[in-house]
Amino acid sequence: MNTKVITGAIGALLASTMISCNNTNPLLEESTLFGGAPRFDKIKTEHYMPAFQEGVAQAKAEVDAIVNNPEEPTFENTVEALEYAGGTLNRVQGIFYNLLEADTNEELQQIAEDVTPLMNDYAMYVSLNDALFARIKAVFEKRAELGLEADQLKLLENTYKGFARNGANLNAEDKETYSALSEQLSLATLKFGKNVLAATNAYTLNITDEADLAGLPDYLVSAALQTAKEKNLEGWAFDLSYPSYGPFMRFSEKRELRKQIYTAYNTRAVGGEFDNTAIVKEIVDLRTRIAQLLGYATYADYALEERMAKTPATVNGFLKQLMDPSLPAARKDVETVLEYAKANGFEDNELKAWDWSFWSEKYKAATYTLSESDLKPYLQLDNCIEAVLGLAGKLYGLKFTERPDLPVYHKDVKVFDVTDETGRHMALFYADFFPRASKRGGAWMTSFTDQYIKDGVEHRPLISIVTNFSKPIEGQKSALITHDELETFLHEFGHALHGMLAEGRYPSMTGTSVSRDFVELPSQIMENWAYEPEYLQSFARHYETGEVMPDELIQKIVDSKNYLAGYLQVRQLHFGIIDMAWHSQSSITPMGTVEFEKQVLAPYAVLPDVEGTCISTSITHLFSGGYAAGYYSYKWAEVLEADAFALFKEQGIFNREVAGSFRENILSKGSSADEAELYRNFRGHDPQPEALLRKLGISTK
C-alpha cells in the first residue's frame, strides 16, 4: 500500500477536524438555493476531505441500520432502503469528482488520491457485507411472490446481481484479495488520468517566426497570440488542446511543424515523466484478476454481461461486420486524397500521419469548396447555444432560462433553469464550454445529482455538459465554433436531455444509468440535426454582417456529410478493437504497450505506422473513464441512431409525435426495462448494422 497516500490522508484528517469544528461545511448541508443548486460560492478545497469522511460515516450508519433491523427482510426495508442510503456521500462525490475533471488543481488531485482508500473501504463495506447480502438474497429468493411493480423487480434483480458481481459470493480470503485489487485499480486509473492531463499541458509549440504561420486561419493565429500572452511567451503558442491542435494539423503548410505537434500529441504519456505505458498494463492486469476472481474468463466477459451485446463474441462479430466493408472504403479514401495531393505538389509516394489532416482538408475544400474557415464565421457560440436549447423546445417543449444569480464553479460556466410546457421545473443545466489548463480534454455530460423520488418527494436532476470549444479572441463578442464543435455540442446535449427528461423512482435506474452500449443513442441521434438545412437556416448567421448562411454553403455541409466516411469509420473501429484486445486477455501480454497496440491494429492500418506513437497511453475513456470493454458502444449506438433518425426523416425532423415517442420510450425510461425492449417500443423492430452502412454510403457488397 502507498504510504504517501496514507500520510496524506492522515494529514488531511487532522486538518479537517479543525475545519469541521470551526466552520459549517457547505457540502454537508442540502442546498436551499433554487433547484438544489450547489453552493459553489461557499465550497472550498479544505471542505472536501471532512465532507467525504462524514458522508462515509453517515452512509455506513444507514447500512448498519438496514443490517440490524430486527424485522424480516422486505423489499422496502432492505433493497429500497439501500438504494437511498448514502445521500450525503453521493452529494459530495457528485461535486468533487466533476470538479476534479472540469476545474482541477494539485490539491484536488491529492485529495482524490487520499480519499481513494476511504471510498474503497466504504465500497467494500457495502459490497462484501455478508449480513447485508443475506437480507438482499432472502428478498431475491422470494421475489416471485412479492407482487412487486416492474421497476421494483428490476431494482431487486439489479441489486442482487450487483452484489454478486462485486464479490458478495466470495469466501473471506478472496474478499480481502478483491478489496485490495479494487483499491489498487482505483489508484492506477487516477494516476493514468493525471498523467494524461499533465502530459497534455506540458507541451507548447512556440512559433516566433511569422513565416511559420503559413496557411493558418486568422482565428487560429489570433487565439495562438492570446495563448502566448497567457503563457508569457513571445510570438504564438499552440498546444495539445483540440481547438489548437486540430486546426493546426488541418491548415499548417509547414510539414515539419505538423510532424512535431502530431508526434507530441500521439506520444503523450509514452515514456518520460508522465509515462502511462506500464500503468496501462497494470490496469488491464488488475481488471483481469478481479474478473477471474469473480468467475469470469476475462474482463470483457465480466463487463459485457450487463450490456446489450452480452458477450465478447457478439462485440467482435459486430466490429468485424462493420470493418470488413469499411476497410476497403477507408483505403480508397486514402488513395483518393493521395492522388489529389500529388497533383497539387506533394512529392512523396505515401501520406504520413501528419499529412493526412492537411491534405484531406484541402481536398475537401476543393471538392466541396468548403472549409472550416468558410463555416466558422456563421457559427457564433451564443447563437448555437440558443439554437441547441431551442431544438429541445421544438422537440420536447422545453424552455431554458439562464440563472446568473446561481453560483458556478468557474466564471465561464452558464446555468439554466429548465422547464416544460406546463411550467414544471425539470432540471438545472450547467454548460462549461472553453478549454483551460485545469480541465481535461474532450467533451462530456455528467450530473451533480440525478432524478429520483424519495418519500413521495421528487428530486429533479442537476445536469452538466463540459466541452473544450474555441475561446473567443480579443475583440470578439462571442466565440466562433467549428461545425465539428456544433456537432459535439449536440452530442453532449443529447446526453443532457437523457438526464433532464428522466422520470422514475430509483436513482440507479434513471436518466443515463443505462447499458453502456445504449447510452450513446440519445447523444448520437442529436448529431443529425447539424446537417439538416431547415435547422441550420434558423440560426447560422455571419457574426459581422448578420447574413444567414447561404443555401449553397448549407448544401455543401450536407453533401460533405459522408466525406471520408470509410476512413473515419475505421478510425473509430480502431479504438473498439484495441479496447477489446486489451480486455479480452486471460493473462497480461508480455509485450510492451506500444508493441501490443501495433500488432493488434496492423491488419487495419490505412496510413503508415509512426514509430513510438500510441493511443492506449492517452485514451482516458478506456483507462480512467467508464468505457473499458465498451468503446464499441459508440458504433453500436450509431447503428441504433441511424435506424431511429430514419423515422424523423420520414415524419419530419421537428415532428412532435415522433419526438414524444422517443421521449416516452427512450429518454424518460432510464433502465427501467431491458434496453432492447425500449428500442423496439420506439421503432417497432430491431436495428441492423446495414442501417449505419447505408447512412454512411459504404457498400455492404
> 99: closest CA among 416, 448, 512, 488?
448
CB count in 10 Å sphere of residue 59 = 19
Q: Are strands 462-466 and 425-432 parallel, antiparallel or unpaired?
A: parallel
Residues 94, 95, 97, 98, CA torsion sign:
positive
- List, as one string, the DSSP characters of 405-455: TS--SSTT-EEEEEE-TT--EEEEEEEE-S--TTS-SS-EEEEEE--EEET
CB 612 within 8 A of CB 267: yes
> 675: closest CA among 380, 309, 314, 396?
309
**Bridge partners of residue 453, in order along the sequence:** 458
Q: Is 492 a catalytic residue?
A: yes
CA distances from 47 to 8, 51, 52, 379, 437 (A): 15, 6, 9, 40, 23
Residue 637 C-alpha from the chain's centroid: 14
CB count in 10 Å sphere of residue 14 = 10
Q: Each residue of 636-670: b (16+ CB within 10 Å) or e? A: bbbbbbbbbbbbbeeeebebeebbebbbebbbbbb
Residue with the three cell numbers 505538389: 345
H-helix segments, 215-346: 218-230, 242-251, 255-266, 277-293, 299-304, 312-343
What distance in Å separates the CA atoms of residue 677 and residue 363, rounded to the nearest whole number? Answer: 44
> 336: closest CA among 657, 17, 606?
606
In degrees rounded to 5, what are phi and psi of residue 459?
A: -115, 115
Residue 148 C-alpha from the chain's centroid: 34
Q: CA Rg, the chain, in Å?
A: 25
> 372: closest CA among 361, 356, 386, 359?
361
Structure-block grid coordinates of residue 609: 505506422
C-alpha angle 187-292-3 in degrees, rounded to nearest 5: 25
**Bridge partners of residue 400, in order along the sequence:** 418
**Bridge partners of residue 178, in order along the sequence:** none
> 89: closest CA among 123, 39, 64, 46?
123
Residue with the three cell numbers 449505419: 692
SS3 470: coil
Q: How would you class 209 by CB atoms within 10 Å of its CB: exposed for 0-12, middle for 13-18, buried for 19 or more?
A: exposed
H and E: helices and strands count for the chain: 28, 9
> 80: closest CA among 460, 461, 509?
509
Q: Which entry of 492, 527, 638, 675 is annotated as an active-site residue?
A: 492
Spatial neighbors of 242 by CB under 8 A, at least 6 apart, are 435, 441, 442, 468
H-helix segments, 520-674: 521-526, 533-536, 551-559, 565-583, 593-601, 620-623, 633-651, 656-662
* Residues that are catalytic: 492
